[in-house]
Amino acid sequence: MSRWIGPAITLLLFAGFAVFLVLRLQEGFERRAAEWFGSADEAPVEPEEVVSTGVEFTRFDEQGRLLLEGRAEQALGRSDGQQRFLEVEVRLIEVFADGDAVVAADELLLDPQTEAVEFIGNALLSVEGLELSGPHLHFRTAPDRLWSRDPVQFRSDDFVGIAASMQFEVAAGDVSLQGVVAAPATEDGFRVMAERVRFDGDTADTSLFGDVEISSSAITLTSRESVVARRDRERGRMRSIEAGFGTELTFAGPPDAAGDPRREAAPEGLVLRGDRLEILLEDGRTPRRVWVQENPSLHRGEGFELRGNEGTFELDSDGTPERLSMTGEVRSRLPGGPGQRYLVSVRSAELAVDFDPEGEIAGASFHGGIDARHGRASATAASALWDGVDTLVLEGSPRLVDSSLLELESSDLRLVIAEPSRVEAEDAVTARFLPARLDWLPGEFEGVVLTGDSAVMETGSGEGVFTGGVRLLFGPNRLLSDKVSVDAEARTLEATGSVVTSLELEIPPPGAGEPDPQDSAADLPAAETGPAAGRTAEADAAAPVDGEAAPASLFLFSAESQRFRYDAAGGQLSYGGDPRLERVGTEGEVSRLVAGRIEADLTAEGSLGALRGVQGARFERGGNLVRGSRIRYEPGTDILLAWGSPAVVSVEGRISEGGLLELGLGDDRTEIHPSRARRALTRAPIARREGPSRR
Is residue 595 situated within a structural domain? Answer: yes
My answer on whether 615 and 514 are in the same domain is yes
Chain segment 236-246, per-residue pLDDT in tens: 888 999 998 88
At residue 38, the pLDDT reads 45
Is residue 465 situated within a structural domain? Answer: no
Residue 58 has pLDDT above 50, yes or no: yes
My answer on whether 225 and 347 are in the same domain is yes
Average pLDDT over residues 488-515: 81
The answer to whether 269 and 300 have CB atoms below 8 angstroms apart is yes
Angle, alpha carbons 397-479-561 (nearest 5°) = 135
Q: Which helix (H) or strand (E) segment is 276 a member of?
A: strand 270-282
Is residue 85 situated within a structural domain? Answer: yes
Q: How many structural domains compose the chain?
A: 3
At residue 539, the pLDDT reads 38
At residue 483, the pLDDT reads 96
My answer on whether 641 and 500 are in the same domain is yes
Percent of the chain with pLDDT over 90: 31
Greater confidence (260 vs 339) lies with 339
My answer on whether 151 and 55 are in the same domain is yes
The one-letter code for the residue type at 107 is E
Chain segment 606-659, per-residue pLDDT in tens: 788 889 999 889 988 777 788 999 999 887 777 889 988 888 888 777 888 888
My answer on whether 243 and 130 are in the same domain is no
Say which CATH number the domain at 550 has.
2.60.450.10
My answer on whether 526 and 633 are in the same domain is yes
Cis peptide before 646 (omega within 30 of 0): yes
Chain segment 165-182, per-residue pLDDT in tens: 999 888 777 889 999 999
206-209/174-184 β-pairing: unpaired
Domain range for 649 is: 491-685
Of 630, 644, 496, 493, which Cα lies nearest the Cα of 570?
Answer: 493
The span from the CA of 358 to the CA of 281, in Å, is 20
Average pLDDT over residues 316-331: 91
At residue 4, the pLDDT reads 35
Of 181, 165, 182, 176, which Cα lies nearest the Cα of 199?
Answer: 176
My answer on whether 229 and 145 are in the same domain is no
Chain segment 531-563, per-residue pLDDT in tens: 333 333 333 333 344 444 445 578 889 999 999
The answer to whether 566 and 441 have CB atoms below 8 angstroms apart is yes
My answer on whether 178 and 228 are in the same domain is no
Range 94-97, long-range pairs (CB < 8 A, 24+ positions): 95/127, 95/170, 95/171, 95/173, 95/201, 96/127, 96/128, 96/173, 96/175, 96/201, 97/128, 97/173, 97/201, 97/202, 97/203, 97/204, 97/233
Angle, alpha carbons 275-278-279 (nearest 5°) = 135
